[in-house]
Amino acid sequence: MEQLKTIGRELAMGSQGGFGQSKEFLDLVKSIGEARSKAEEDRIVLREIESLKRRIVEPGIPKRKMKEYIIRLVYVEMLGHDASFGYIHAVKMTHDDNLVLKRTGYLAVTLFLNEDHDLIILIVNTIQKDLKSDNYLIVCAALNAVCKLINEETIPAVLPQVVELLGHSKEAVRKKAIMALHRFYHKSPSSVSHLLSNFRKKLCDSDPGVMGATLCPLFDLITNDANSYKDLVVSFVSILKQVAEHRLPKAYDYHQLPAPFIQIRLLKILALLGSGDKQASEHMYTVVGDIFRKCDSSSNIGNAVLYECICCVSSIHLNPKLLEAAADVIARFLKSDSHNLKYMGIDALGRLIKLSPEIAEQHQLAVIDCLEDPDDTLKRKTFELLYKMTKSSNVEVIVDRMIDYMISINDNHYKTEIASRCVELAEQFAPSNHWFIQTMNKVFEHAGDLVNIKVAHNLMRLIAEGFGEDDDTADSQLRSSAVESYLHIIGEPKLPSVFLQVICWVLGEYGTADGKFSASYITGKLCDVAESYSSDETVKGYAVTALMKIYAFEIAAGRKLDILPECQSLIEELSASHSTDLQQRAYELQAVIGLDVRAIGSIMPSDASCEDIEVDKSLSFLNGYVEKSLEKGAQPYIPENERFGMVNISNFRNQDQLEVTSHGLRFEAYELPKPSVQSRTPPISVASSTELVPVPEPSYYRETPQTAPVPSSSDTGPSGLKLRLDGVQKKWGKPTYSSSSASTSNSSSLKVVNGATQVDGVSSGNSKTHETSYDSRRPQVEISEEKQKLAASLFGGSSKTERRSSTGHKVAKASSHASEKFHTSKSTTIYSADNVVEKPNLVQPPPDLLDLGEPIVASIAPSVDPFRQLEGLLDSTQDPGTFGGTKAPDFMALYAETPAGGRSAVTNPSQISKGPNVKEALEKDALVRQMGVTPSGQNPNLFKDLFG
């Protein structure tokens, strides 16, 4: 009665303006509905967008009017236009205390926004507050928004309130809370892993709606781990029994069927729990049998429940009575005039045929009717059924039907699928070699290049290996049959490339094996193929290789070699080809023709395509050569995983050229540092004033603040300019300061330390009545003789599936040809490490080159050349005289050789001579940097000398 009053009020409002909306809004909806084209509709919507942009920002808009504007924005978004300018107003409306406005706001934001939108953060607090509201309608609106908008990062903010609402007094709130937890489980299973027991509890809820909502998350959980929920089998069976017995309120009935969607979900769950478990399946037999007897098949929803029962019976432990009941239901489906029910019957028959192949024989005429039906979807489903029921007695009929259907369709995707199934059935159930070769030829000829290249390789391997029954005569007959059929087909125009590759390979291997055809005849055919398909380099390559095999076999047999003129011209043409692969094959063919019998027997043995090839991937035969080269000073080989992304400075060709071994970036951490080794170069004393030497650091290392005093860096030059680093805070990075302690003048070596450290997842009576009445109405149709013959060929054989044993085709014997044996041996690899002297007591943070302090004039001339200091960063084992020679310094050694403890030691410098203008270049660059001026161009002298 209350609902009728509400409807009456709304109808009264509609007569005055459309459910509380203005006449302008009704005119908008009417004009959109009457638009005759997409362009007219777009013009109306764009005009509305311009109007809303202007009106929605006006001050003092009444709330009722703002609500209408938000609804108009929803129309704009639904029609595919952008209304992002009004998103913020929808978010603001969710904050309103009025229930109607708040629900309108939540409806709008759930339609406008996605879980990763920037405005989500603005409504999280509102959702938290509304989840605690006393008005359950507000709580339901907030839970709707939670299911749509909360992402993985914001789940912890609302999870406690959602869990608390599982005990709410209103069933609608409890149901939506279950749905929210289910959503959280999809988004982040780990965040609700400790709350999964709540689903078990809510399965016993007093409200059927809450119980029905709980079935959805439980289905997902059981799909992932059925063994953990085996104890719930009795509970699920009890619930299903109560539902089937009409224990639920009438509100849950649909077409007089009690809660059919709950029944379907429960049957899906029972199918998972009873799979492979006889004890659990025994609990289900009674209730599933009751549904078969009680379910009404006069409606679509009743047929859906019956179909799900068949799926359940096919999954659980086999029960003969249930299997018989399922077969009766399938018979009703297949006898129906509805294509949908026929489709369900074919699909259900395909499920039961695995358990009892005899069932298909009971419905053979119905299956043939589906096979000849003009409905393409039904025909495809029938072919899937025939594929499952294929055996050696009916394989020829089924494969021929599939090939005929494949020729008649234009869908390349499905044509590819049918071709692969034809190949599979032919390999498993081929009654004879001749039929097998002819079938494969049809598949390749009509499917063309849609056939997977692996199918071609498997066919070549099958012809080479035979059927593996130790019958050489049968294998020879197979190869001879293949050669004869290919010589007959090779003259046809426009053959697929994959098929031509198979033809060339077979003719090259076995064209002259049985002596029926001469070498000249075979080579002439191969030259015709190469000439006819001159644009296909792969086919030409196969043809040239086949020529080489035939000539080699002729030489090995001691017969006189007769090269046709067209073959000679083909070889000469390919010798000058732009393709290096064809060139190489042509030159190899010329070389093979000039060899003697003994050499030919070694490099091209007859019928050796199935022999295993041993590959030494380590190239151990080169170990001696590698050792000699290392002794002469050659660089050791660096594995690719170690040199990836690293700069190789040893590849300098001149002072201005830098080559990089890889252009990729290294995202992995550096290796742990190696212990330092004492330098073999004697220390050289330096002056009291140390030069500023910039040491590059990886940007993803973490700096550890050091408290030890470090010597200040000063650089005094003729112009008296230097960088002041004393007491100056760094502009980026962690807040550290440079120490102001002075450098020592009596140090015997340069003490520059880098402070970087490494930072180490449904009644039987009714059913019979329906069936009897249906059969009485159905006219008796006389079956044609052709259909009877087809049925006899499809279903008249032995019912047991016969497949070749593992000793049949050697297609399954992949180990003899597809795998490789590898003989590996360790190869010699020598690594060299930089020798450094570690100074653990002195630490200096990286210099701040952005300090623009006042320059200090020094009166002491530099006693050390700054570029001599760079030598201390290099490998101390180098000869200083070879800086620009063959062995160049490796700057990247600084990255790999960082000692433990966060300190980086540097070796003592060596004496090297630089260009005369080094100091000028440094001073000029330092001066312009201190004055805040960016140089207009690079200083060529600076970089030329730096990488000299």
pLDDT at 177 over 60: yes
Question: Looking at residue 275, what DSSP letter applies?
Answer: B
Give the least confident one: 147-156, 209-218, 308-317, 642-651: 642-651
- Answer whether 697's CB lies under 8 Å from 746's CB: no
- Answer whether 434's CB lies under 8 Å from 394's CB: no
Residue 477 confidence (pLDDT): 84
- Answer whether 876's CB lies under 8 Å from 680's CB: yes
User: What percentage of the chain reaches a pLDDT higher than 90?
Assistant: 39
pLDDT at 862 over 60: no
Compute the average pLDDT of residues 54-63. 91
Residue 924 confidence (pLDDT): 66
pLDDT at 313 over 90: yes
- Answer whether 522's CB lies under 8 Å from 514's CB: no
- Token pair recorded at residue 735: 């807040």
Q: Select the more confidently predicted residue: 137 or 819.
A: 137
Residue 480 confidence (pLDDT): 87
pLDDT at 912 over 60: no
The angle subtended at Cα 857 by Cα 854 and Cα 863, nearest 5°, is: 130
Residue 43 confidence (pLDDT): 94
Residue 234 confidence (pLDDT): 94
pLDDT band at residue 371 under the 50/70/90 scheme = confident
Compute the average pLDDT of residues 767-775. 44
Neighbouring residues of 212: CB distance < 8 A, sequence distance ≥ 6:
259, 261, 262, 265
* Average pLDDT in the chain: 75
Compute the average pLDDT of residues 916-923. 63
What residue type is assigned to position 227 of the chain? Answer: N
Compute the average pLDDT of residues 454-477. 79
pLDDT at 835 over 60: no
Compute the average pLDDT of residues 67-94. 93
Residue 448 confidence (pLDDT): 77
- Token pair recorded at residue 205: 């809820």
Query: For residue 807, which of 466, 427, 433, 469 has the smallest C-alpha distance?
Result: 469
Residue 357 sits at φ, ψ, to 5 deg, of -60, -20
Neighbouring residues of 761: CB distance < 8 A, sequence distance ≥ 6:
none
Residue 807 confidence (pLDDT): 37
Question: Looking at residue 872, what DSSP letter applies?
Answer: G
For residue 347, give the 3-state DSSP assignment: helix
Question: Looking at residue 649, what DSSP letter applies?
Answer: G
Compute the average pLDDT of residues 429-442. 85
pLDDT band at residue 756 under the 50/70/90 scheme = very low
pLDDT at 89 over 70: yes
Residue 903 confidence (pLDDT): 40
Helix (H) or strand (E) holding 257, with range, is: strand 257-258
Tell me the pairing of strands 614-615 and 821-822.
Answer: parallel
- Answer whether 528's CB lies under 8 Å from 569's CB: no
Q: Select the more confidently predicted residue: 754 or 340.
A: 340
Give the least confident one: 13-22, 103-112, 115-124: 13-22
- Answer whether 575's CB lies under 8 Å from 590's CB: yes
- Token pair recorded at residue 908: 């003592």
611-650 tens-digit pLDDT = 777 788 888 888 999 999 999 999 888 887 776 555 444 4
Query: For residue 751, which of 843, 630, 881 has the smallest C-alpha distance?
Result: 843
Q: Select the more confidently predicted residue: 27 or 773.
A: 27
For residue 183, give the 3-state DSSP assignment: helix
pLDDT band at residue 927 under the 50/70/90 scheme = low
SS3 percent helix, strand, coil of the chain, rounded to 5, is 55, 0, 40
pLDDT band at residue 749 under the 50/70/90 scheme = very low
Q: Give the whole-angstrom CA distance, residue 352 versus residue 327.
A: 8
- Answer whether 141's CB lies under 8 Å from 106's CB: yes
Q: If you average pLDDT over each of 148-157, 452-461, 721-730, 748-757, which comes out highest?
A: 148-157
Residue 930 confidence (pLDDT): 54
Question: How many residues make up the chain in this entry?
Answer: 948
Residue 158 confidence (pLDDT): 94
Give the least confident one: 183-187, 271-275, 609-613: 609-613
Q: Give the whole-angstrom CA distance, residue 501 versus residue 540.
A: 9
16-42 tens-digit pLDDT = 444 567 888 899 999 999 999 999 999
pLDDT band at residue 893 under the 50/70/90 scheme = very low
Measured N-to-C along each axis, helices 300-315 and 339-352 cross at an angle, to the nearest 10 degrees, of: 10
Query: For residue 327, which of 318, 245, 577, 168 has the smallest C-alpha distance?
Result: 318
For residue 660, list its beta bridge partners: 647
Residue 709 confidence (pLDDT): 41
513-525 tens-digit pLDDT = 888 888 889 999 9
For residue 821, give the 3-state DSSP assignment: strand
Compute the average pLDDT of residues 254-271. 95
pLDDT at 207 over 90: yes
Q: Select the more confidently predicted residue: 529 or 641.
A: 529
Give the least confident one: 304-308, 448-452, 864-868, 872-876: 872-876
Q: How far is CA 718 from CA 524, 859, 869, in A?
A: 87, 8, 18
What's the half-sphere exposure (Cβ side, CA atoms, 13 Å) at 877? 10
707-719 tens-digit pLDDT = 444 444 434 444 4
143-152 tens-digit pLDDT = 999 999 999 9
Residue 2 confidence (pLDDT): 52
pLDDT band at residue 467 under the 50/70/90 scheme = low
Compute the average pLDDT of residues 56-66. 91
pLDDT at 127 over 90: yes
Ranges of each domain in the chain: 623-681, 735-853, 854-946
pLDDT at 784 over 80: no
Query: For residue 90, which of 57, 61, 67 has the smallest C-alpha distance?
Result: 67
Give the least confident one: 292-306, 804-818, 907-921: 804-818
Compute the average pLDDT of residues 280-308. 93
Q: If you average pLDDT over each of 139-143, 393-397, 613-617, 692-696, which comes out highest?
A: 139-143
Q: Give the whole-angstrom CA distance, residue 716 versus residue 862.
A: 6
pLDDT band at residue 725 under the 50/70/90 scheme = low
For residue 729, give the 3-state DSSP assignment: strand
pLDDT at 882 over 60: no
Query: For residue 508, which of 592, 445, 431, 430 has the smallest C-alpha distance?
Result: 592
Residue 702 confidence (pLDDT): 42
Question: Looking at residue 216, what DSSP letter applies?
Answer: H
